[in-house]
Amino acid sequence: MLKLLKHFGLYFIMMKKVITIPEKWSAFRKQFVFELTKIGLNSIGIVLFISFFVGGVVSIQTALNLQNPLLPKYLIGLASRDSLILEFSPTMISLILAGKAGSSIASEIGSMRVSEQIDALEIMGVNSASFLILPKIIASLCFFPILVILSMGIGMIGAWIGALSVNITTTDFLYGLRYEFISFYITYAIIKTLVFAFIVSSISSYFGYHAQGGAIAVGKSSTDAVVYSSIFILVFNFILTKLILA
């Protein structure tokens, strides 16, 4: 319990250092663009690949479970749409990004810590937490929603192809996709994604920033970053769903 409180304390102390006005905007801009590429652009491929196939599987499984002739065929499109928008794209993609971007953030900052690069920044008088972590958080907040929206779109294309493979017509599938569409679900998904983006980038940075020792410590920080980011994503998924949808 004490250890947990210590972690929370250190996390908030670090965040207090992170959330400050950048010392030099040109340096911040450069770091921000660098992080956008690393965290965002480099994750597009994996997000599109996973979303397409999961979308396909969701529609096939829904079709197999709704084989009752009394149920309309368009339900496959509707169910696929809602599962992708409400849960798969924001939550599952964030969990995947916790694995990809989160571990990369933690190992990068952890390596800098153990090789004294962070100490070198501090000695120069640079606020190392803000310089290294703030661009990562802002880049995540900017790019995670784009990735999630892309995931929704590609997931639905996957779902459509999946539906075609189980003899659901394009007309039925598209009717289901549009049927009683609630646009607020997109807003809800984006709100969740923003919270998850903050969780992944800040928790991963925390574990990297506080790594102590050598290569093993960097590996541990990377693992802890993925584990704790995933736990907090699932906890906040529950809290946000209860607060926003229930």
Partner 1 sequence: MIEIKNIEKYFGNNHVLKNVSFTFERGKTNLIIGESGSGKTTLIKILVGLQNKDQGTVLFNGEDVNKMNNKEIRRCRKEIGMLFQGGALYDYMTVEENIMFPLNMFTDKTDDEMLERVNFCLKRVNLKGKNNLMPSELSGGMKKRVAIARAIVMQPKYLFCDEPNSGLDPNTAILIDNLIQEITEEYNITTIVNTHDMNSVMQIGTNIAFIYKGEMWWQGSKEELIKSKNKEVTDFVFASDLFKRLRRS
Residues of this chain that bind partner 1 (CB under 8 A): 23-24, 26-27, 112, 115-117, 119-120, 122-126
Nearer to partner 1, 46 or 126 (CB): 126
Rounded to a whole number of angstroms, the minimum distance from the CB of residue 245 to partner 1 is: 42
In whole angstroms, give the CA distance from residue 41 to residue 48.
12
Helix then strand count (H, E) for the chain reads: 11, 0
Report the alpha-carbon angle 14-19-23, nearest 5.
110
Cβ-proximal residues to 171 (8 Å cutoff; 6+ apart), any chain? none
> For the chain, how big is the Rg over CA atoms in Å?
21
Rounded to a whole number of angstroms, the minimum distance from the CB of residue 115 to partner 1 is: 6
Nearer to partner 1, 62 or 104 (CB): 104
Cα-based distances in Å from 63 to 51, 80, 142, 156, 177: 18, 10, 35, 14, 14
Rounded to a whole number of angstroms, the minimum distance from the CB of residue 153 to partner 1 is: 33
- Give the type of residue at 63: A
Nearer to partner 1, 23 or 243 (CB): 23
Nearer to partner 1, 121 or 174 (CB): 121
Rounded to a whole number of angstroms, the minimum distance from the CB of residue 65 to partner 1 is: 49
Rounded to a whole number of angstroms, the minimum distance from the CB of residue 182 to partner 1 is: 44
Nearer to partner 1, 4 or 124 (CB): 124
